[in-house]
Homo-oligomer: A and B are copies of this chain.
Amino acid sequence: MAKFLSLADAVRQNLHTGDTVAFEGFTHLIPHAAAHEAIRQGIADLTLLRMTPDIVYDQMIGMGLAKKVIFSYAGNPGVGLLRRMRDAIENGYPRAIETVEHSHSAMAQAYEAGASGLPLAVFRGYKGAGLPAVNPDIRTVTCPFTGEELAAVPAHRPDVTFIHAQKASAKGDVLVEGIVGVQKEAALAAKRVVVTVEEVVPDFKGLHPNLCILPHWTIDAIAVVPGGAHPSYAHGYYVRDNAAYLDWDGISADRDAFAAWMKANVLEVGPEVFASRVEGLK
């Protein structure tokens, strides 16, 4: 049952040291505010699950919270590489991380399998690719009807999933719209679900019947954080801060510049700053 909490309480009550956690959002609706709260609380030894680690995990990895990252594309979208993640992989800075690498198709279907309560996802994939040789979690099953060998990966079952959404109803139902990504699946695959939202509305009356809505009883905590996806965006609220993505390339290139940026923009502020960050992006 969804409880409305402050972001600090929502994170504290649901994310614990050593957890496997997904912060999901495919380019759109990335839960940056929630990740910053996790960084402020210093919740460490995390296994981070996400299709595109992106800036959000570059920051968490750079701050030393991750012991393992399960992913399929580790880039700064449209810009280049993730420099903090590279530093961790190539140089063990600030700590070594284990990586488990999949394709997008595998990651998406592993969430889907998790949402479906299944132990694995079965699909046609990885043919001729190098990942099965370096990721022991990529295995095969044989179709009992055709004899075809299909790829199999374990379902994702995170301890916690964080997502950002446009709206919650007063009851705690949550609406996601636009590029919906894997959020529904990531949420339903998790043991606990924390949602940050742009706003709370009285109810969802009058909405089209087929929209992507998570009922309140599938959610553990909701925190209202306007702008909470920045520098990602929230369809209908504010656009993507492309300049921030471009800037990140420079900030993340240098360990000290990164540390200073994180101190000024994450550690010494609270979630309320997100609203001001999207002021010029509406």
SS of A interface (majority): loop
Shortest Cβ distance from residue A167 to the other chain B in the assembled complex, whole angstroms: 14
Q: Which 4 A-B pairs have the closest CB atoms?
A: A139-B144, A119-B146, A122-B122, A119-B143
Can you name 24 A-B pairs with beta carbons within 8 Å? A116-B123, A118-B122, A118-B124, A118-B150, A119-B143, A119-B145, A120-B122, A120-B143, A120-B144, A120-B145, A120-B146, A122-B122, A122-B141, A137-B145, A140-B144, A141-B143, A141-B144, A143-B152, A144-B152, A145-B152, A177-B208, A177-B209, A208-B208, A210-B211
Is A239 an interface position by the 8 A CB rule? no
Q: CA–CA, A264 to B123, complex, Å?
A: 49
Shortest Cβ distance from residue A176 to the other chain B in the assembled complex, whole angstroms: 9
Is A117 an interface position by the 8 A CB rule? yes
**0/1 string, A104-143, CB within 8 A of B gives 1:** 0000000000001111101110000000000001011111
Shortest Cβ distance from residue A234 to the other chain B in the assembled complex, whole angstroms: 14
Q: CA–CA, A62 to B154, complex, Å?
A: 47
Q: Inside 8 A of A117's CB, which chain B residues have their CB?
A: 124
Is A180 an interface position by the 8 A CB rule? yes
Is A212 an interface position by the 8 A CB rule? yes
Out of B118, B144, B180, name the residue touching A123 (CB < 8 Å).
Answer: B118
Is A178 an interface position by the 8 A CB rule? yes
Q: CA–CA, A145 to B152, complex, Å?
A: 9
Scan residues 130-185 of chain A and give those whose CB is less than 8 A from a CB of chain B: 137, 139-146, 148, 150, 152, 154, 177-178, 180
Q: CA–CA, A154 to B150, complex, Å?
A: 14
Scan residues 227-252 of chain A and give those whose CB is less than 8 A from a CB of chain B: 235
Q: CA–CA, A235 to B123, complex, Å?
A: 35
Shortest Cβ distance from residue A135 to the other chain B in the assembled complex, whole angstroms: 13
Q: Which of A122, A139, A177 has the most CB of B within 10 A?
A: A122
Scan residues 190-213 of chain A and give those whose CB is less than 8 A from a CB of chain B: 208-212
Q: CA–CA, A212 to B208, complex, Å?
A: 11
Q: CA–CA, A139 to B143, complex, Å?
A: 10
